[in-house]
């Protein structure tokens, strides 16, 4: 196990606290998953700490997934109290999502190289950015209802696979997918919060197993989950998410989505190309 240089973490700890604040604020304000903020920042933090690329990316992904466990519980509970969790959709999509999580965790934790994982995450950010820019004012649909059973299974499997492999919650992928089929937005967001729990728990456990015994891990790590980063991220994320929700009703969210989309476009290009 590689010890954490104390001097580095005196500087990096405030960065992670700020990352948690931003992730929570954006989750509440714009409805985006915290993972698309947490993973790239963790990647750069672990890289600055001198870890090799084949450790930095799975460690960033696994730690992000662990942080999503608690935030998804809070979010799913709040949506359940408001009656916005669609039980029928949950039962229909859960098997495909869980099957996808198994495959995505295996790919991200044991098969895909750190360099490819980094590039794939960059491509995801570019795709999310393009979607946010194109749908900032209008949300296009492909039909007025959900597709057939087998198509839904394919979509749910893809969501589970990508979310587990890249360390993001269900909402980043599931909400845009459901929007294409004119699914009610509040039920899409509420049900996706539960998907985030279904994804993050087994995926985080899978990354712990995949990284177990790796000689290059920093201190306070169990497999590919770093508990020091987790402890700095999660309280800040959970504290600032409600503030984001309140600000959502006071600010021009459309313009903020566009600014944020440009920001993650630049981050995505940097991760995909450099």
What is the β-pairing status of strands 221-222 and 225-226?
antiparallel
Q: C-alpha 17: how far from its chain's center?
A: 17
**Sequence-separated (6 or more) residues with CB below 8 Å from residue 42:** 16, 19, 56, 59, 60, 63, 64, 229
What's the pLDDT at 45? Answer: 87
Q: Residue 10's pLDDT is what?
A: 67
Residue 1, strand partner residues: none
User: Which residue from 126, 171, 167 is spatially nearest to 261, judged by alpha carbons?
Assistant: 126
Q: What is the pLDDT of residue 205?
A: 96
Mention every residue, 6+ apart, whose C-beta is less than 8 A from residue 263: none
For residue 240, give Cα distances in angstroms to 47, 74, 197, 228: 26, 13, 19, 19
**Residue 15 half-sphere exposure toward CB, CA atoms < 13 A:** 17
Task: Check if the beta carbon of residue 159 is closer than 8 Å to that of residue 170.
Answer: yes
Assessment of whether the complete model's pTM goes beyond 0.85: yes
Low-confidence ranges of the chain (pLDDT < 70): 1-10, 28, 30-33, 245, 248-249, 253
Domain definitions of the chain by residue range: 6-273
- How high is the pLDDT of residue 6? 47
Closest CA to 43 of 19, 25, 72, 21: 19
What is residue 7's predicted lDDT score, i.e. its pLDDT? Answer: 52
Cβ-contact 257, 30 below 8 angstroms: yes
């Amino acid at each position: 196990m590689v010890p954490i240089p104390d001097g580095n973490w005196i500087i990096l700890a405030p960065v992670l606290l700020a990352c948690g604040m931003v992730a929570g604020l954006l989750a509440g304000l714009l409805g985006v998953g915290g993972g698309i903020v947490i993973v790239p920042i963790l990647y750069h933090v672990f890289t600055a700490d001198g870890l090799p690329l084949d450790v930095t990316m799975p460690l960033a992904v696994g730690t992000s997934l662990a942080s999503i466990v608690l935030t998804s519980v809070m979010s799913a509970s709040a949506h359940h109290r408001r009656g916005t969790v669609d039980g029928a959709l949950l039962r229909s999509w859960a098997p495909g999502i869980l099957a996808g999580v198994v495959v995505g965790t295996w790919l991200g934790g044991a098969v895909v190289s750190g360099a490819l994982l980094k590039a794939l995450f960059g491509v995801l950010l570019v795709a999310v950015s393009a979607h946010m820019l194109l749908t900032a004012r209008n949300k296009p649909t492909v039909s007025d209802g959900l597709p057939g059973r087998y198509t839904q299974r394919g979509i749910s499997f893809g969501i589970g696979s990508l979310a587990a492999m890249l360390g993001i919650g269900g909402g980043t992928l599931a909400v845009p997918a459901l929007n294409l089929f004119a699914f009610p937005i509040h039920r899409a967001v509420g049900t996706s919060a539960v998907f985030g729990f279904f994804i993050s728990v087994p995926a985080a456990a899978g990354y712990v197993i995949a990284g177990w015994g790796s000689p290059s891990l920093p201190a306070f790590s169990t497999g590919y989950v770093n508990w020091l980063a987790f402890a700095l991220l999660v309280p800040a994320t959970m504290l600032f998410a409600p503030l984001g929700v309140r600000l959502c009703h006071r600010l021009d969210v459309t313009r903020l989505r566009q600014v944020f989309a440009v920001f993650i476009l630049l981050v995505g290009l940097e991760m995909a190309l450099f």
